[in-house]
Amino acid sequence: MKQAGIATVANHESAVDDGIDAGVDFARAALIALDWGTTSLRAYLFDGHGRVLATRASAAGIMNLPRSAAEGGFDAVFDDVCGAWLERAHGVPVIAAGMVGSAQGWLEAPYVETPANADALVAGIVRVTAANGATLHIVPGVLQRGELPNVMRGEETQIVGALSEDADAAHDAANDAAHAASSTCSLIGLPGTHAKWAVVQAGRIERFHTFMTGEVFAALREHTILGRTMTTPDRPDTEAFLRGVNVAREKGQAGMLATVFSTRTLGLTGELPGEAQPDYLSGLLIGHELAGLEAVLVLQQSSLAHQSPRLIGNEALCERYRLALAQFGCLQAQLVKHATERGLWRVAAEAGLVNPSARARSAG
């Protein structure tokens, strides 16, 4: 569910694409970590200090296996992506997060319930032995019960990665102020196909929302009348995007089912050319997402303007969210880089798969 939430590891792109591990000192390998989602898989090889030695990427998400699970599809992908590493770093522990732990994954890791911290995730780890003898430790997702239940798989590990900055800061400073800061509520946003917004406190995921923003955008563009007049712009049209955000933010509008139709009617009246329509629609949907989040915050005596959210995910998409958040008076949003690999390292450390005293240093 976080196809768009995979952090880019720019320094390793050539190694990823070519699958070449030239120059990697396998004697230092301490952990293989997998971010295995619906449509893709990314693998990280860590040293004992939490530094990334090499990465691999594959399009073999759990819905894209080369053959079925019953026919060994998971084993085949795992061997393809990590087999060479395991041969040269035999016995290195393996951790995995994401949809690989869903009911449609390799082995189901039942959800742990909110409030959930890293300890709870560790307690929920399930183990599966691959055909090549390696044991995968699969991190569970998180479930929030209630009238409108919510689920995440993969994002919980990214959130732990973002929070590991706090833990590091608290550890380094070891003073009361830092501990106090980490015990207040804060907001973490994970834009994407199914965007998540989580409220975290003292290292725990307290509650969260899911917004189907990315998937609804694709469905509206590809499968409704709105797509018929759209053309693809040469570059993102920020003005059209912000126009959409501000329409969604207005109190006088009649809701998303009504505002989206203006993508078409502004075209019919000559006020929005076809190449501006995709960004306008994107702005409308992200604006409605943030307006919905704002409504929930206001009920809790808060507001986006009083928050300093952290954003995890694709950098260009996070930048769009930063611009949209500013329209809501939220000027302190910050991108957290390398949250995925930091989170995988942190959970592995908490689980005792690597030396827990070696704190994550993978981020630049």
**Which of 219, 305, 316, 331: binder of its own copies (CB under 8 A)?**
219
How many residues make contact with its own copies (CB under 8 A)?
50
Q: Which is nearer to its own copies, 137 or 194 (CB)?
A: 194
Closest CA to 35 of 51, 58, 63: 58
Report the C-alpha gap between 79 and 83 in whole angstroms: 4
Displacement of CA 261 from its chain's centroid (Å) = 30
Report the C-alpha gap between 329 and 339 in whole angstroms: 25
67 binds its own copies (CB under 8 A): no
194 binds its own copies (CB under 8 A): yes
69 binds its own copies (CB under 8 A): no
| Amino acid occupying residue 247 | V
Q: What is the DSSP string of 214-228?
A: HHHHHHHHHHSGGGG
SS3 state at 346: helix
Displacement of CA 89 from its chain's centroid (Å) = 28
**Which of 20, 131, 185, 268: binder of its own copies (CB under 8 A)?**
268
Range 279-291 burial, b when 16+ CB lie within 10 A, else e: bbbbbbbbbbbbb
252 binds its own copies (CB under 8 A): yes
Site string for its own copies, 278-297 (x = CB under 8 A): -------x--xx-xxx-xx-
Single out the segment in contact with its own copies by CB under 8 A; choices: 175-183, 247-255, 275-283, 319-327.
247-255
349 binds its own copies (CB under 8 A): no
Contact status, residue 320 vs residue 286, Cβ threshold 8 Å: yes
* Shortest distance (Å) from residue 262 CB to its own copies: 4
SS3 state at 284: helix
Handedness of CA 202, 204, 209, 215 (dihedral sign): positive
315 binds its own copies (CB under 8 A): no
Question: What angle (nearest 5°) sits at the alpha carbon of residue 235, between those of residues 232 and 241?
Answer: 80
238 binds its own copies (CB under 8 A): no
113 binds its own copies (CB under 8 A): no
Single out the segment in contact with its own copies by CB under 8 A; choices: 23-31, 147-155, 157-165, 179-187.
147-155
Q: Which is nearer to its own copies, 93 or 214 (CB)?
A: 214
Q: Which is nearer to its own copies, 93 or 309 (CB)?
A: 309
207 binds its own copies (CB under 8 A): no
225 binds its own copies (CB under 8 A): yes
Contact status, residue 156 vs residue 139, Cβ threshold 8 Å: yes
251 binds its own copies (CB under 8 A): yes
Cα dihedral 274/279/283/284 (nearest 10): 30
136 φ, ψ (degrees, to nearest 5): -90, 130
Q: Which is nearer to its own copies, 235 or 251 (CB)?
A: 251
Contact residues for its own copies, defined by CB under 8 A:
143, 145, 147-151, 194, 209-213, 215-216, 218-220, 222-226, 247, 251-262, 265-266, 268-269, 271, 285, 288-289, 291-293, 295-296, 299
